[in-house]
Structure 1
Amino acid sequence: MTAPTLEDARAAVAAKNYTSAEQLYQQIIISKPLKQHDFSQQEKAIYELGELFQSLNDSEKLSALIPQARDVISSLAKSKAAKTIRSLIDLYDKIPESSDAQITSLKDCIQWSEKEKRSFLAQSLLIRLATVYFEKKQAYQSSLAIINDLNRQFKKLDDKSSLVEVQLLEAKVYHSLRNMAKAKAALTSARTSANAIYCPTATQAELDNMSGILHAEDKDYKTAFSYFYEAFESYNNSNEETNAVKVLKYMLLSKIMLNLIDDVKQILSAKYATKYSSREIDAMKAVSSAYANRSLKEFQEALQVYHTELSSDIIIKSHFNALYDTLLEQNLLKVIEPYSVVEISHIAQTIGLDSKQIEGKLSQMILDQVFYGVLDQGNGWLYVYDEPQTDKSYASGLELVGHLSNVVELLYEKAASLN
């Protein structure tokens, strides 16, 4: 009987005979190499079988394959084991609800790496584990515990390239925890480490993107835009479409928050932006149009029509929530401006929102001294007052009394010294 080949297994996959394909791949994996030191067939069979399990969303079989593949490859060629493990671990990213299985496999591979004294592989897998904890499980403290340990290890080894990766991840975790001081400190450390080495384009783009995000949190949208533009250029030149679209959205966000709607139109009409036309970009266009028209109704319609596109990105969502509040305040001030007394139900009807929602917002605006007024909740009325004029003579009088007090004290001290 002839030994099975990769073509046989691929033909079984094409015919959707997955059980047969799995058996053929397994036979190739455990077979001896046809040529000495040529393990390419086994390596390809392992990865293609992993891809088969990924396409079938079978995380259990993928989890069983990883230790088997690890043992087979390490017995044939130790240098190939690290690449094989990382490639198989990455396949979990395309399987829905597989984060727990991915974490279990990562922990198992880390233990194996430490046992085999393969510290570099163990460290790279620990970075991956910290990333999975952060991105998929939102287990920020678990992620930080790994990051802190890796920071110590890489500083001791003076491994700048790994330090950049870990410190950038640390900045992202602290940003998600809303600890901006520590996020900025981690990003500054990452940039310092990056300046000491040749930094890959993708990593530099991530650093620029994170810098833009943190500047946007400080409402410094002008500086944020310049960082986002640098990141966009890197992603655009590298043909990384997903990241390019994401950063292009952040560029548009910066211009919208600065109320530079003409700049938004200019960016969208530019040659580099037109190739990224999508619903996500259309969503930003709709929001900028609504904000330019100061129309709360258009803004709400944009949020409803493009709900998925605008709510899936946490950065966009948080800034647009602030933008919505600003627009709501502007509309409320415009409605109540002609009145000294007005019914809350009339304001709600004019704005197109629920009375309770309007009442809550008006109450907040009064407390924040956006305008002066009183809510009569019993009758459902709002009393609007003019801004109270402060009597400057009172402040001047207090200042004069203060000066006189100082003069009297000086005279008293002089008299005491003469006596």
Structure 2
Amino acid sequence: MGLDEQISTAKGLIDSDPKQAEQELRKLVFDVPGTDVETTRVKEQAIGALAEAYVKLQDAQSLADLLSQLREFFGAIPKAKTAKIVRGIIDQIAKIPNSTQLQVVVCKEQVEWARTEKRTFLRQRIELRLAALYLELQDYPTALGILGTLNSEVKKLDDKLLLVDIHLLESKVHHAVRNLPKSRAALTAARTAANAIYVPVALQAEIDTQSGVLHAEERDYKTGYSYFFEAFEQFSALGDDKAMSALKYMLLCKIMLNESGDVPALISAKAGLKYTGRPVDAMRAVAQAYQERSLQAFQPC
């Protein structure tokens, strides 16, 4: 049986028998000799499938260990491929519930390894991920410390796409600590950097969402709604779960604009129907309670 057939067979086992799939895929990753183009391609596919198997098994620790076990392989392949694999595995760890602390440990380990190996591109992106994790853990001073160092370093390299990500995350951290002037300044810096380059749709949607949040904080709900609408359309086109959050923000802006009568129409529109469920039903109930001026109806929402 050829290598491609072995991968195909192992992938087919991920849903039905992830443990068996893991064993087969590990053989392909670690037992197949050689680092020629074809073998490397097969191993890359096997690593991606192996990560999926570990997610299916909810085994975050094995995913973390996999990064250390692959270091010899990383030394034999191009740096760009290494960066893609490392970031992909960290993304897979994030899919496992209650793995935030482990992600922090893994990111710190990978930052140190990348620094030792002089892999600047990879180190900077993992540090950005680490700052986002500290935001999630509400350790804001540590997040801002990482972003400050990263910002000054990346400005010298003029990596505008990474600068957009850094400024956007910085805006979110400042917003979390209620420093709205600095949050707006960081968002403006993100937009300025974004204007000079092509920005991926998902990142543009993130920028629009943050813009909507800050306008809503200033009680400019009309402008906030327009930004959330743009973000919703972009996330929805990508099939991203963040579309639900953008839709909820849109509905909330309508309520705050004293236009709660528009909420049912937005929910029942073609775009809104994809996201029917408890969160949207809750917003519908809030809008109804607001229309009726009923605190009693609002309490269960």
- TM-score between the two structures when normalised by the length of structure 2: 0.91
- Partner secondary structure for residue 48 of structure 1: helix
Aligned to 1:96: 97
The verdict on how the C-alpha distance between 1:77 and 1:30 changes in structure 2, with shifts beyond 3 A counting, is farther
Aligned to 1:42: 43
The verdict on how the C-alpha distance between 1:64 and 1:218 changes in structure 2, with shifts beyond 3 A counting, is same
Amino acid of the structure 2 residue aligned with 1:295: S
For 1:141 and 1:191, how far apart are their aligned partners in 2? 24
For 2:246 and 2:151, how far apart are their aligned partners in 1? 28
Aligned to 2:187: 187
Question: Does structure 2 retain, via aligned residues, the 8 Å contact 1:113–1:119?
Answer: yes
Amino acid of the structure 2 residue aligned with 1:36: D
Q: Identity over the aligned pairs, expressed in percent?
A: 44
Within-5 A mapping of 1:101-112: 101-112=102-113
- Partner secondary structure for residue 285 of structure 1: helix
Superimposed CA distance per residue, residues 157-179 of structure 1 (whole angstroms, 9 cap, x where no aligned partner): 12211111000000011111111
Report how far residue 65 of structure 1 moved. Answer: 0.9
Report which stretch shifted further, 43-52 or 200-209: 43-52
Aligned to 1:237: 237
The verdict on how the C-alpha distance between 1:61 and 1:2 changes in structure 2, with shifts beyond 3 A counting, is same
Aligned to 1:130: 131
Question: Does structure 2 retain, via aligned residues, the 8 Å contact 1:43–1:73?
Answer: no
Report which stretch shifted further, 99-108 or 170-179: 99-108
For 2:2 and 2:156, how far apart are their aligned partners in 1? 54
The verdict on how the C-alpha distance between 1:238 and 1:94 changes in structure 2, with shifts beyond 3 A counting, is closer
Aligned to 2:269: 270
Matched, 1:146 2:146: yes
For 1:266 and 1:57, how far apart are their aligned partners in 2? 40
- Partner secondary structure for residue 70 of structure 2: helix
The verdict on how the C-alpha distance between 1:286 and 1:16 changes in structure 2, with shifts beyond 3 A counting, is same
For 2:274 and 2:60, how far apart are their aligned partners in 1? 36
**TM-align CA RMSD:** 2.3
Matched, 1:71 2:72: yes
Question: Does structure 1 retain, via aligned residues, the 8 Å contact 2:29–2:43?
Answer: yes
Report how far residue 73 of structure 1 moved. Answer: 3.5
Question: Does structure 2 retain, via aligned residues, the 8 Å contact 1:70–1:85?
Answer: no
The verdict on how the C-alpha distance between 1:107 and 1:259 changes in structure 2, with shifts beyond 3 A counting, is same
Say which structure, 1 or 2, has more relative contact order (CA 8 Å, 6+ apart).
2
Amino acid of the structure 1 residue aligned with 2:131: A
For 1:191 and 1:249, how far apart are their aligned partners in 2? 24
Matched, 1:214 2:214: yes
Question: Does structure 1 retain, via aligned residues, the 8 Å contact 2:132–2:143?
Answer: yes
Report how far residue 33 of structure 1 moved. Answer: 5.0
The verdict on how the C-alpha distance between 1:72 and 1:260 changes in structure 2, with shifts beyond 3 A counting, is same
Amino acid of the structure 2 residue aligned with 1:148: G
For 2:10 and 2:56, how far apart are their aligned partners in 1? 15
Question: Does structure 2 retain, via aligned residues, the 8 Å contact 1:46–1:69?
Answer: no
Report how far residue 17 of structure 1 moved. Answer: 7.1
Question: Does structure 1 retain, via aligned residues, the 8 Å contact 2:205–2:231?
Answer: yes
- Partner secondary structure for residue 37 of structure 2: coil
Within-5 A mapping of 1:149-228: 149-228=149-228
For 1:248 and 1:265, how far apart are their aligned partners in 2? 12
Gaps of 5+ in 1: 303-419
Gaps of 5+ in 2: none
The verdict on how the C-alpha distance between 1:10 and 1:75 changes in structure 2, with shifts beyond 3 A counting, is same
Report how far residue 14 of structure 1 moved. Answer: 5.8
- TM-score between the two structures when normalised by the length of structure 1: 0.66
The verdict on how the C-alpha distance between 1:149 and 1:294 changes in structure 2, with shifts beyond 3 A counting, is same
Amino acid of the structure 2 residue aligned with 1:163: L
For 1:216 and 1:15, how far apart are their aligned partners in 2? 47
Within-5 A mapping of 1:382-393: none
Superimposed CA distance per residue, residues 49-107 of structure 1 (whole angstroms, 9 cap, x where no aligned partner): 22222222222221111111232233244442111111111111111221222111111
Alignment length, in residue pairs?
299
Question: Does structure 1 retain, via aligned residues, the 8 Å contact 2:161–2:194?
Answer: yes
Question: Does structure 2 retain, via aligned residues, the 8 Å contact 1:110–1:125?
Answer: yes
For 2:276 and 2:63, how far apart are their aligned partners in 1? 36
In our comparison, the structure showing a higher alpha carbon Rg is 1
